[in-house]
Amino acid sequence: MKLKKLIGGLLLSSFLAAGLGVSISSQNNGATKVEAAGASGSLIVKFASNHNWFQSGAKICAYITDDANNYWTSLQTSSTSTLLYKFDYSVSFTPTKLIWVRMNPAATSGNWDQKWNQTGDLGWNEATYINNGWDNPGTSQWTVSAQVRSSLVPSFGTKTTLSKIGINGDGNPEVSGSVTLEKDEEFKMLAGDGVWSGYYGRPDALANAISGGSRTERSDQNPNIKCEIAGTYDFYFDTETKRLWISRQDIVDADGWATYFNSNVGCDASGKDLPSGWASCATEYGKLSADAKDYVYGAAADPNGDNLGKALATYDHAVAAHSSLTRFIVNRSSTPRSTAININPIAGALSNSGSIIAVVAISSVSIAAIGGYFLFKKKKND
């Protein structure tokens, strides 16, 4: 009877939750807000190695327009040794063309009165190459943004586009963004110039998270890159080398903590000895982000695995062997990590999925033995 009531209560709670979900969802069906037309982003300009635009301390900037509205980017001054520059913009209209302008070094903002030289009217594109020369030098333009193509999109279509433009440590144009991947999802990069790439790099901490592709060179024969652990990753794509750098801060931080734990916990993997570095390991764990804590919390212990797997195996044995230890591994909700490890063999058996059957079997044998004892005693008295 109690079991029926429990099941009935759970079903009722589920129905109420479902109804609440419908009620909440129905409240979000308001009118969609229409934003004013506009654009923001970054432009890249690259100069030929023998360019002369920076002679005499000249400054450069971009003039952006749609023929009805216009915008001047900030000014930049640099030496002839730097060939690549990034200019940010934010406008309230949709740009259709741009002009790169060489300015008098006395200028503090873009304007035509202090212009020294300029390109011709150029189409709207993210990147421009300027050859040597003063007015109307030879130019070419290209798209920097790159597409992430996925096996989960029909015909290996576009999952998302990396459009945040920057300049990386190698001095090359780079586009970046966050990409959420599913387990076993395969993907490749399609650069703005139409080149496919499965060439990538990653931190060692992601060795079990990302596989496939090529980590040595870009080739038209590069296989697809594959996601082994679902989650949201940070992508940084070098548009010159066509190399993708994949990172995920929660995994990297979790691996860093695990490395610290393994080196400083001060006990063997079985947890037999009371750890001498428990407090410091707890302090370092407390510094992790909520995402990193969730990742550690949900990871599997493996004494023969990676840094994190080994750390969790030691942790689980230690807290099972020493009740005085603080269970400091918690998730973002401060829920302590549970462990299946228990040094008490009976309690350990109870933690297994077959524990109920085992208890019932043991109880049955015990009851049978007790019953047999009283039956034997009764016969003896008779």
pLDDT per residue as tens digits for the range 18-52: 343 333 333 344 443 344 568 899 999 999 988 88
What pLDDT band is residue 170 in, cutting at 50, 70 and 90? very high
Which class is 39-142 in CATH? Answer: mainly beta
Q: Indicate the DSSP class of residue 156.
A: G
Give the span between the Cα atoms of 38 and 92, in whole angstroms.
4
**Direct distance between the N- and C-terminal alpha carbons of the chain, in angstroms, rounded to an integer:** 42
Q: What is the pLDDT of residue 339?
A: 73
| Mean pLDDT across 315-329 | 94
Q: What are phi and psi of 318, to 5 degrees?
A: -65, -45
pTM score above 0.95: no
Q: pLDDT band at residue 89, thresholds of 50, 70 and 90?
A: very high
Which element (helix H / strand E) includes 127? Answer: strand 127-130
- Within the chain, which residue ranges are assigned CATH 2.60.40.3620? 146-247
- Give the per-residue pLDDT at 338: 87
- DSSP state letter for 338: P
Q: Which fold has domain 146-247?
A: Immunoglobulin-like (2.60.40)
pLDDT digits (tens, 9 = 90+) for 241-278: 999 999 999 999 999 999 999 999 998 877 778 999 99
Q: What's the longest Cα–Cα distance across the chain?
A: 126
Contact 175, 145 (CB under 8 A): yes
- Residue 202 in this model has a pLDDT that exceeds 90: yes
Mean pLDDT across the stretch 71-93?
A: 91
